[in-house]
Amino acid sequence: MNINNKDTAVLLTDVQNDFLSEKGVTWGLVGDSVKENKTVENIERLFKAAKANGFEVFISPHYYYPTDHGWKFGGTIENVMHDIKMFDRSGALDLEGFEGSGADWLERYKPYIEDGKTIVSSPHKVYGPENNDVALQLRKRGINKVILGGMSANLCVEAHLRELIEQGFEVTVVKDATAGAKHPELGDGYQAALINYGYIANAVLTTEEAVTAMEG
């Protein structure tokens, strides 16, 4: 995949406290993988490289509002997210209690996300971007190639990968700018994702390789 700042953008999913902060509600499951991959640091390297080299940055966030907890059914991890109040916000148009919450951005990423240039899409609700506007936002800016990272590896990142491929985008996954849960019964989400990235993505790179490509 030819990476250039004319038609290629960085897309990051769920770069929020509940996944990436040691105080987040999922840290007990994802923390080891985040630390092993240096995920927090590598995502910041993608932010820095994109901003320094004229690449647009898109964020696909994950939020739940009080009305979302009225859903009548859900999958295994979907139900867990509701039970632990992951990514909870007080309302779609209400930011009360948002700052510093599990739904908020990791503090070190705020200068990059809140610079007035980063495009934050509407929230996805389960894993993929089928029900938010990230594909529209990419298309409207002439983007047809994506450098993908964020959280978590086998859920939202993989789901975004699959749907964007179906939508006709080329997608490179940055394999150490993500991480996954390690669950005693469900298994290692990160290792599961790596297999599928190799099968599905146009390319799978390390952060070092992705940064080098963006630097030209």
CATH code for the domain defined by 8-215 = 3.40.50.850
Identify the pLDDT of residue 14.
98
Distance CA 79, CA 161 (A): 23
pTM of structure: 0.96
How many helices (H) and strands (E) the chain has is answered by: 9, 8
The percentage of the chain sitting over the pLDDT mark of 90, rounded to a whole number, equals 92
Identify the pLDDT of residue 119.
98
Tell me the two tokens of residue 198. 């190799």
Cis bond upstream, residue 152 (ω within 30) = yes
Tens digit of each residue's pLDDT (9 = 90 or more) over 24-82 = 999 999 999 999 999 999 999 999 999 999 999 999 999 999 999 999 999 988 888 88
Closest CA to 61 of 107, 10, 129: 129
Q: Which residues make Cβ contacts (< 8 Å) with residue 15, sequence separation at least 6?
A: 43, 59, 61, 105, 106, 109, 113, 150, 151
Identify the pLDDT of residue 78.
86
Q: Which residues make Cβ contacts (< 8 Å) with residue 4, sequence separation at least 6?
A: 216
Instruction: Name the amino acid, one letter, at 147.
Output: I
